[in-house]
């Protein structure tokens, strides 16, 4: 065991940060590990330890720049103070409090939210602000990466349900409990959306030319409102009769414009545009025996065949 | 020292403490105050500040170290102005902040031109891309009424559709807390009919009216807002076709085993036969309930009852 390993890593990283911030010129790796205490002796070990510390700092929002050391043919490291500090947001006190309340009111990633509040200058625990969140949002490791790619206008590639995708990401959308990323799919040459919890590993931000997003892109409009509209293929209009038990709930869900007939027994008939039959069936069966597909005949027959296959052993 | 805290979390917290001390200028702060502000124990404050007192610039001579004198009662600090400037947000922090603000603005009834909206606009101007995060939350018809009743501690009489039993019933509830999770709005309420705390999905409340009575919330604040299965939950074992894997993604399962033929053997908590029927109908041919005995054949019963509507 080397004595250097006994130094607390928080101490080593804090010292590293102070040295990099103070540097007027890029510092070589050797200079850094010999002046900042706590790095192992051997080259491979200190190189690895430094890379880990650099990654840690980057995850905290500290951009460690790699630049050529003047007059020498090696690269060095420093932190540009202009990039280290948050530009003045010009928030009023009320605006700052509103952001704090928003962070406290949304259950997402508590530690990250607390870090953001601290950086905005709130020296209080968020939990003391409000005890019950108003909304819970799922967090996923891919989200900040995609958000950063959108900000930097860089293409990303990822594996999604067994396929490799490269997209120019335009926006993130949260809908019905799930996060989606929307963007131009480079292979399919069309705007597509992907459910983020189905991305299999961290997306990779591609180096290269920044893309120009469409000026009028509206992520909310890029997603069809209903699951049965998401997908590819020709849309058919399905007419469904919903019995009185669920008529009100279905009307509230689809909107009154979807109702094409109101029957005397209290049932309603609604029309939906269907692209994705799986999603449509899932919605339909959520209503159990309170809903029947009236037309088109092909869709009705498909539903009947599905039920017969399940109901006969 | 908190052994459960990661280096990342400790560093983030330490830099926040140093920024706060720096903003106060030269002087002393009580350890207890730092502990309370940053959610730490006093021992943690002392040990982290002692560590920071050894940090500085090479050659680490006393004049190059942070000006921090720590004892058990207070810390004397003279850190200079540099550390007090707010630091750049990490990608994760920027995203969490933007998403949180967007989520609150998506709550039906929020002021789209209020203080939070202007704060978010300033933030997004710095973060780069405007409107890159869009959040839409469900807006069931009775949400506003239920939220108003919870805010005003007013008792409600509701007609609630139970998806697990596929029936609606009336009950009187004390609405404690309304929140959005997993794409739905929920009401945490004391149910007078069952004499217990219940979660209700707001979109399944078919009718609601205030009774005119008010209620007092129990001490200790509202309960944790975790959607837990109700007390009537039982566990079932079902076989589903391989194509049903996507259906299971958003369901809590006890275990999922892939059989030799590719089918899935799933053990999961079920909220009643009607609840299970929806899963079986969606999974389709090849689905079968193995246990418990009273749910065996649920797939056939479900398929036949829906087929009856097709004459």
What is the separation of C-alpha B282 from the centre of its chain, rounded to a whole number of angstroms? 28
Q: How far apart are CA A168 and CA A153, in angstroms?
A: 7
A11·B55 Cβ contact <8 A: yes
Q: Which of B14, B60, B249 sits opposite A10 (nearest CB)?
A: B14
pTM of the entire predicted model: 0.72
Instruction: Please say whether the beta carbons of A10 and B51 come within 8 A.
Output: yes
Residue B224 pLDDT > 70, yes or no? no
ipTM of the complex: 0.71
What was the pLDDT predicted at A262?
Answer: 93
Helix then strand then coil, in percent of chain A rounded to 5, is 45, 25, 35
Minimum CA–CA partner of B142 in chain A = A252
**How far apart are the C-alpha atoms of A177 and B183, rounded to whole Å?**
4
DSSP labels for A23-52? -SSPBPHHHHHHHSTT--SSHHHHHHHHHH
Give the Cα separation of B27 and A178 in Å (integer).
49
Q: Which chain B residue lies closest to A212 (C-alpha atoms)?
A: B129
CA distance B295 to B252: 19
C-beta neighbour count of B208 within 10 angstroms: 20
Interface test with B, best of A134, A150, A156, A205 (most B CBs within 10 A): A134
What pLDDT score was predicted for residue A231?
A: 66
Distance from CA of B297 to the nearest CA of A (A): 9
- Whole-number pLDDT of residue B175: 93
Fold of the B234-310 domain: Alpha-Beta Plaits (3.30.70)
The mean per-residue pLDDT over the stretch B96-116 comes to 86
- Which two tokens mark A218? 């509206």
Q: What is the pLDDT of residue B1?
A: 44
Query: What was the pLDDT predicted at A214?
Result: 85
**Of B7, B122, B134, Cβ closest to residue A219:** B134
* Residue among B107, B136, B250 minimizing CB distance to A134: B107
Q: In DSSP terms, which residues pair with B288 in a beta bridge?
A: B239
First to last CA, chain A: 67
Give A308's contacts in chain B (Cβ within 8 Å).
Answer: 303, 307
pLDDT of residue A77: 92
Which of A58, A63, A11, A18 shows the shortest CA–CA distance to A39? A11
Q: Distance, in angstroms, between A310 CA and closest chain B CA?
A: 4
Domain boundaries, given as residue ranges, for chain B: 7-84, 91-127, 143-214, 234-310
C-alpha distance from A73 to closest chain B C-alpha (Å): 25
Are A243 and B306 in contact by the 8 Å Cβ rule? The answer is no
Residue B296 touches chain A, beta carbons under 8 Å? no
pLDDT at A82: 76
A158-167, B5-14, B220-229, B237-246: which has the minimum mean pLDDT? B220-229
Q: Nearest by CB to A288, from B11, B206, B278: name it.
A: B278
Instruction: Identify which of A223, A220, A164 has the alpha carbon closest to the alpha carbon of residue A191.
Output: A223
pLDDT confidence of residue A309: 92
Collect all residues of chain B within an 8 Å Cβ-Cβ radius of residue A93.
none
Q: Which residues of B touch A79 (CB under 8 A)?
A: none
- Overall residue count recorded for chain B in this entry: 311
What CATH number does domain B143-214 carry, 2.30.30, 2.60.200, 3.40.50, 3.30.160? 2.30.30
pLDDT for the residue B214? 92
Beta strands at A178-185 and A190-195: parallel, antiparallel or unpaired: antiparallel
Whether residue B135 lies within 8 A of chain A, CB to CB, comes out as yes
CB contact under 8 A, B37 and A124: yes
Say whether A15 and B55 touch across the interface (CB within 8 A).
yes
- Does B225 score more than 60 pLDDT? no
Q: Give contacts of B 164-193 with A, CB under 8 A.
A: 166, 168, 177-184
Contact flag B303-A307 (C-beta cutoff 8 Å)? yes
Give chain B's end-to-end CA distance (angstroms, integer).
Answer: 70
Pair B129, A151: CB distance under 8 Å:
yes
Question: Which residues from B are below 8 Å from A111, CB to CB?
Answer: 9, 12
Task: Tell me how close the Cα of B71 comes to any Cα of chain A, in angstroms.
Answer: 19
Residue of A102, A224, A241 to mutate when probing chain B, most B C-beta within 10 A: A102
B261 in reach of chain A (CB within 8 A): no
**Closest by Cβ to B97, choosing from A103, A111, A286:** A103
Q: Which residue of A has its CA nearest to B281?
A: A285
For the stretch B257-298, pLDDT in tens is: 888 888 999 998 887 888 899 999 999 999 999 988 999 999
Tell me how far apart the alpha carbons of residues B128 and A289 are, in angstroms, rounded to a whole number: 50
Query: CB distance A172–B134 less than 8 Å?
Result: yes
Read off the pLDDT band of B227 (50, 70, 90): very low
Tell me the domains of chain A and their CATH numbers. Answer: 3-84 (1.10.10), 93-136 (no CATH), 142-223 (2.30.30), 236-311 (3.30.70)
CB contact under 8 A, B104 and A106: yes
Q: Which residue has the higher pLDDT, A219 or B29?
A: B29
Domain B7-84 fold: Arc Repressor Mutant, subunit A (1.10.10)
**Cα separation of B270 and B164, whole Å?**
8
**CB-based contacts of A227: which residues, under 8 Å, 6+ apart?**
A176, A276, A279, A282, A283
Distance from chain centroid for Cα B245: 25
- Alpha-carbon span A76 to A68, nearest angstrom: 6
* Least confident residue range of A71-85, B8-22, B226-240: B226-240
Element (H, E) at A295: strand A291-295
**Residue B280 has what pLDDT?**
93
Q: What is the pLDDT of residues B131-186, one digit of tens each?
A: 788 888 888 889 999 999 998 999 999 999 887 778 888 999 999 989 888 778 98
From its phi and psi, is residue A209 left (phi > 0), alpha (psi between -120 and 50) or beta?
Answer: beta
Q: What tens-digit pLDDT sequence spans chain A (313 residues)?
A: 344 446 788 888 888 988 888 888 899 999 899 888 888 888 899 999 999 999 888 887 788 888 888 877 888 999 887 777 777 777 887 888 788 888 878 888 777 877 787 777 665 555 555 556 788 888 888 998 998 898 888 999 999 888 899 999 998 988 878 899 999 999 888 888 888 988 988 999 998 878 888 877 776 667 666 666 766 667 889 999 999 888 888 888 888 888 999 999 999 999 998 888 888 998 899 899 999 999 999 999 999 999 999 988 6
Put simply, the answer to whether B115 touches A307 (Cβ < 8 Å) is no
> In whole angstroms, how far apart are CA B139 and each of A178, A253, B185, B187?
16, 9, 8, 14
Measured between CB atoms, does B271 come within 8 Å of chain A?
no
């Amino acid at each position: 065991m080397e004595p250097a390993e006994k130094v607390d890593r928080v101490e080593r990283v804090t010292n590293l940060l102070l040295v990099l911030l103070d540097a007027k010129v890029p510092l070589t790796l050797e200079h850094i590990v010999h002046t900042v205490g706590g790095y192992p002796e051997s080259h491979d070990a200190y190189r690895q330890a430094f890379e880990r510390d650099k990654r840690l700092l980057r995850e905290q929002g500290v951009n460690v720049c790699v630049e050529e050391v003047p007059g020498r043919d090696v690269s060095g490291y420093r932190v540009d103070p202009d990039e280290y500090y948050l530009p003045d947001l010009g928030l009023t006190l009320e605006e700052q409090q509103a952001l704090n309340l928003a962070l406290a009111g949304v259950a997402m990633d508590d530690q990250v939210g607390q870090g953001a509040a601290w950086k905005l200058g709130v020296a209080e625990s968020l939990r003391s602000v409000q005890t019950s969140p108003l909304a819970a949002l799922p967090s996923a490791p891919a989200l900040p990466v995609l958000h950063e790619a959108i900000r930097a206008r860089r293409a990303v590639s990822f594996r999604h349900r067994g396929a490799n995708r490269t997209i120019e990401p335009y926006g993130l959308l949260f809908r019905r409990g799930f996060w989606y990323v929307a963007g131009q799919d480079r292979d399919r040459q069309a705007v597509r959306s992907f459910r983020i919890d189905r991305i299999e590993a961290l997306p990779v931000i591609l180096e290269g030319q920044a893309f120009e997003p469409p000026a009028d892109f509206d992520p909310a409009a890029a997603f069809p409102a209903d699951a049965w509209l998401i997908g590819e293929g020709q849309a058919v209009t399905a007419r469904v009769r919903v019995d009185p038990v669920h008529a009100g709930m279905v009307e509230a869900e689809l909107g009154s414009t979807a109702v094409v007939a109101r029957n005397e027994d209290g049932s309603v008939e609604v029309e939906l545009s269907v692209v994705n039959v799986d999603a449509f069936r899932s919605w339909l069966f959520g209503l159990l025996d309170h809903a029947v597909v009236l037309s088109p005949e092909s869709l009705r027959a498909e539903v009947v065949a599905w039920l017969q296959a399940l109901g006969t052993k | 020292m908190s052994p459960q805290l990661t280096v990342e979390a400790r560093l983030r917290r330490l830099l926040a403490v140093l920024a706060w001390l720096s903003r106060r200028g030269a002087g002393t702060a009580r350890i207890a105050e730092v502990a309370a502000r940053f959610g730490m124990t006093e021992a943690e404050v002392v040990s982290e500040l002692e560590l920071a007192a050894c940090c500085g610039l090479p050659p680490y001579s006393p004049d190059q170290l942070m000006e921090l004198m720590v004892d058990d009662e207070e810390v004397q600090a003279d850190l200079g102005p540099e550390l007090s400037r707010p630091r750049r947000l990490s990608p994760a922090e920027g995203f969490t902040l933007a998403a949180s603000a967007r989520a609150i603005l998506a709550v039906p009834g929020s002021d789209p031109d209020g203080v939070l909206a202007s704060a978010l606009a300033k933030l997004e101007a710095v973060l780069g891309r405007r409107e890159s995060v869009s959040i839409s939350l469900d807006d069931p018809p009775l949400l506003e009424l239920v939220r108003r009743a919870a805010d005003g501690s007013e008792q409600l009489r509701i007609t609630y559709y139970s998806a697990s039993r596929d029936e609606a019933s009336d009950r009187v509830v004390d609405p404690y807390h309304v929140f959005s999770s997993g794409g739905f709005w929920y009401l945490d309420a004391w149910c007078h009919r069952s004499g217990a705390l219940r979660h209700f999905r707001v979109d399944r409340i078919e009718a609601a009216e205030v009774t005119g009575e008010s209620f007092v919330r129990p001490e200790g604040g509202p309960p944790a807002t975790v959607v837990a299965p109700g007390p009537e939950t039982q566990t079932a074992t079902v076989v589903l076709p391989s194509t049903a894997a996507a259906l299971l993604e958003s369901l809590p399962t006890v275990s999922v085993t892939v059989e030799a033929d590719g089918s899935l053997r799933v053990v999961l908590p079920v909220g009643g036969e009607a609840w299970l029927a929806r899963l079986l109908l969606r999974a389709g041919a090849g689905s079968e309930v193995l246990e418990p005995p009273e749910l065996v054949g649920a797939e056939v019963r479900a398929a036949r009852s829906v087929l009856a509507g097709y004459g």
